[in-house]
Each structure stands twice: as structure tokens, then as C-alpha cells.
Amino acid sequence: MSRRYELPDISQPGKVGYSLPTLDMPAAELPPAEMLRSDLALPEVSEAELVRYFTHLSKLNYGIDTGFYPLGSCTMKYNPKWHEDVARLPGFASIHPFQPAGSVQGALRLMFELQAYLAEITGMDGVSLAPLAGAQGELASILMVKAYHRKDSARSKILVPDSAHGTNPATGTMGGFEVVSVPSDDKGDVDLGKLESIMDENVAALTLTLPNTLGLFDTRIGKISQLVHDKGALLCGDGANLNSLVGKARFGDMGFDCVQLNLHKTFSTPHGGGGPGSGPVCARAVLTEFLPSPVVAKDGEEYRLASPASSIGILGAAYGNFGVMVRAYAYIRTLGAAGLREVSENAVINANYLKEKLKPYYHLPYDRPCMHEIVFSGKRQKTQGVRALDIAKRLLDFGFHPPTVYFPIIVDEAIMVEPTESESKATLDSFIDAMKQIAREAEENPEMLHSAPHHTPVRRLDEAKAARQPDLRWRMGNDKERAGTA
């Protein structure tokens, strides 16, 4: 059965998927009748039907192991299967956070060496692997900024360019700061004139996503760093887009005081529903005493957990998402310095290839070399009555995961494509062909796009209704009621 179905569709009263052995103990008494219910409707199916149902559901999944997944900003690249073997080694998978350090020296050594690799890659002096995800790494950065300025209470503002990740302003607010937005200029870079006029002694830090969410590298980063530091403020990096810079440019060399990394993205771990994140924070010497706890130190030949002198404290249970650290370590060791440089080169080349091939068909708001991702605007198609969402939905018919749409918000009808370094030219070409055909359809047959997707197990979902009237509780039969009212 290729059509999508639900268990109640095949339920028959009296069918069971289990057989219990004869009771060889005295039966326990049931709770009082008023505490029991008899009206709980559950689907009744055999074991084989249940297995087929779940197998059927599993075939509806779409992931990076199924096909191209150019979801901008998310770095959905291939995750080597060998990493999974390594992360499952008993010495990594079966240890306990509170085991004596002497009995987990291998795990601590891995953390110690990973700290050193990340310090080398970012050009920073110290690293804590503790943050559990990118946004928590950002929070660690901002709390470190706060600790650094602890004697200067006038520093109440965090500046964030309008091309930043959405988490950047949220993080500043979480840290107790007032967040001030810095506009971009017409090239997509930070507007230096505006920055200069906003920069004063009340600014604690500027948080810069580099490359920014337009996929652009701000070439005046040296000047930005100078403007920020001249006023005694700090420069924080959002390193979530590091897969375009590894082995090419280092945050420390560019004047950043701290930066968080997204190991699950740049250093390859299944993420976005596939697993947890890890957001190490890397700092220059001025901030290392504030790094979150723990960090791994080495005394002679002995590795141990330590807390930096004025640490902002712990950020979660145990020592961070260790399994992601193992995979990142495996990735770095497998590829080596030359391989990591190639990762960045391929990420950037792939995005620029898509940019050049698609720019005759889709408006390109910032026509200049991009880094690991490229942001088009569906502006031209909008005049034909087709929205970015329609383009995204139509791509599903071609078997592709759609790009990110409507982000960054500074681009009208944004279509944000991140091909990643994993993809071959053949895959990119088939995506380009699909995008060209969709641009043609927008001109000749917009209805084809308005009614897309056509070949998926479910058609277009009513996202507005789902948000306005969320139905979070499944009860047998109520999906039929819903179908009746839809």
C-alpha cells in the first residue's frame, strides 16, 4: 500500500498483536471500579500489521540519507556512518559521568584534544565543550561578556546586525541586555556608518554571524573589530556557519573575543530531529577565565575535569553532549587539516555554482561571491502571483527537501539554499533543472505551483490552522472528525 494510512484504517475489533503466557500467580486485585475506564478506544491489529504500519511510516521519512536537503542555515550534510560505530564503542557509550577520572582517561583525552583542535581552528586561546547546542553556546558567550564587564554596569547594550541568526538578538535579551539592531548596507555587509554612530561606551558587545545569514563574508571585519574595541566593547562571533571557513580564516585572527561553534553542523552529527547538538564556546585570553565549567585539563600524563577561575558556571547536567564530541573528533581526525580545508572549499564552490546557474531565473538581491549558502528572492515570481512557499512546495514533487524560505527577513520572499559540501555536481544539476522548470511554471502555469505538492503522501498542510487550533491529542476516531470538517 503506497497511500498513507493510519492504524485505525485497518483496525478490526478483537484482533491482538500479543499473546501472554498463562498466569501462574494469584491475580492481583484491580483498583476500585470508579478509577477504571472502559471507553478507551485503541486500534486493534495483529503483530504483522503493526510491524508493516511502522515500516510504512519509516518509508515516508525524508532525510539526508534519502536525498538532497538544501535547507539554508541548517548545514544538512552527510553524516559518515563510521562516526556512529566510533560513538558506540563501549569505552565511549557505556561510561558514567560520575566515574572516577582515572577510569575514563580515554574519554577525557578525547575532550582535551578536541578542545585543542577547536582552539587551533578558531585561533582562540581556550575552549569549553560544555554548551549543549549552538544557542546555549551563544548564551555562554554573552554571559562571559557580562562577567567581563561586571564592574562597568553602564554597558547595557548588545549590538546585532539585521543579517544575524535569529538566536543572536534572543541571546542578548536572555543575558539581560538591551539589543540594538545594526542595519545592513546595500551590499549586505554591516553598515559601517550606522555602526559608528551607534557604538558608544554603553555597548557591551557586538555579536556578528560570520558569514552572515545572506551567506556573505563581511570583508570589512577588521574595521568592525576596531570600531567595537575602540569603545572598550567585545566582539562575539556566531560560528554556526564555520563550514565555509575551516582552515581558511580564523575568528581569533579577525579580532573576535569569543565564538560558539555548532559541532553538529560543521563537524557532522545527525541533527534537526536526528539528534542533539553541541555548541562549544571558544575564547581569547581576555575571556578564558570565564569559560563555562567543566573544561578538561592535563597535569603531566593525567587528564582531569577543571573549572576556570571565574567560570560562569555549569550549563547542564554532566559535561555536554559527549556523543557529538566523539563524532566531531572522528570527523577532524579522519579529514585532517587538508581535508577540512577541502570541506570549506567544496561548500563555497557548490553554493556559488548554484548561484551562477540560477541567477538568470531567480532574483539575486546581493550579486557577489557567496560563501556556503545563497539567498535568492522570489520577487520576480511574486509578480506572477507565485510565492516562495509555492516554490518550496513544488520542489517536494521533484523529490527534494525544500530550501529555507522567508528567512533572512531582510530579503523579500527569501529562498535560502545551502547545498553543503557533500553533494556531487550531478545532484546540484538535477536541483538546478527542477528550479528552472519551476521558474518556467511560474510564468506559464502558476496553478501548478499553487496546488503543489502533487506527488507527496499528503498535499499542502494548513499551517495556519495547525497554529491557530493545535490538536495535540490523538484519539481514535477524531482524525475522521477532522477530515470531515477540513
Stretch that binds other proteins, among 92-100, 267-275, 279-287, 463-471 (CB under 8 A): 463-471
Residues 152-191 that bind other proteins (CB under 8 A): none
Taking the least distance from each CB to other proteins, the nearer of 464 and 472 is 464
Q: How far is the CB of 124 from other proteins (least distance, A)?
A: 33
Measured distance CA(47)–CA(125) in Å, rounded: 57
Helices (H) and strands (E) in the chain, counts: 17, 12
For residue 302, the SS3 value is strand
Q: Which of 52, 123, 406, 446 binds other proteins (CB under 8 A)?
A: 406
- Return the C-alpha cell found at 131: 554548551
Q: CA–CA distance from 33 to each of 29, 30, 41, 42, 400 (Å)?
A: 11, 8, 18, 20, 54
- Can you tell me which residue has the cell 554571559? 143
Q: Count the residues of the shown chain that bind other proteins, applying the rule CB under 8 A.
A: 8
Place of cell 527577513: 409
Instruction: Select from 119-127, 283-291, 333-341, 464-472 the region that touches other proteins (CB under 8 A).
Output: 464-472
- What is the x/- site pattern for other proteins, positions 345-384, by CB under 8 A? ----------------------------------x-----
Q: Pick one of 2, 299, 463, 486: the residue that binds other proteins (CB under 8 A).
A: 463
- Report in angstroms how near the CB of residue 160 gets to other proteins at its nearest: 14
Task: Determine if 301 is a binding residue for other proteins (CB under 8 A).
Answer: no
User: Of residues 464, 472, 483, 486, which one binds other proteins by CB under 8 A?
Assistant: 464
Nearest to 263 by CA among 239, 290, 293, 297: 239
Nearer residue to other proteins within complex by CB, 22 or 469: 469
Q: How far is the CB of 379 from other proteins (least distance, A)?
A: 8
- Residue whose CB is less far from other proteins, 141 or 381: 381
Does 24 interact with other proteins (rule: CB under 8 A)?
Answer: no
| Site of grid cell 476516531 | 477
What are the C-alpha distances in Å from 23 to residues 15, 19, 27, 29? 21, 12, 8, 14
Burial of 227 (0-12, 13-18, 19+ CB in 10 A): buried
Stretch that binds other proteins, among 43-51, 318-326, 462-470, 475-483 (CB under 8 A): 462-470
Q: Give the Å distances, CA to CA, from 49 to 53, 187, 367.
A: 6, 58, 54
Residue placing its CB nearer to other proteins in the complex, 3 or 468:
468
Q: Smallest gap, in angstroms, from Cβ of residue 375 to other proteins?
A: 15
Pairing of strands 157-161, 178-182: parallel
Closer of 147 and 170 to other proteins (Cβ): 170
Instruction: Indicate the residue among 353 and 407 with the shorter CB distance to other proteins.
Output: 407
CA distance 385 to 121: 46
Q: Which CB, 25 or 467, lies closer to other proteins?
A: 467
Binding mask 466-485 for other proteins (x = CB under 8 A): -xx-----------------
Query: Site for other proteins (CB under 8 A): which residue of 93, 285, 409, 429?
Result: 409
Nearest to 296 by CA among 119, 140, 139: 119
Around Cβ 40, how many Cβ atoms within 10 Å?
8
- CB of residue 31 to other proteins, shortest distance in Å: 40
- Which residue's entry shows cell 541568526? 165
CA 403 – CA 452 distance, rounded (Å):
15
Told to check if 407 binds other proteins by CB under 8 A, we report: yes
Residue closer to other proteins (CB basis): 153 or 469:
469
Footprint on this chain of other proteins (rule: CB under 8 A) = 379, 406-407, 409, 463-464, 467-468
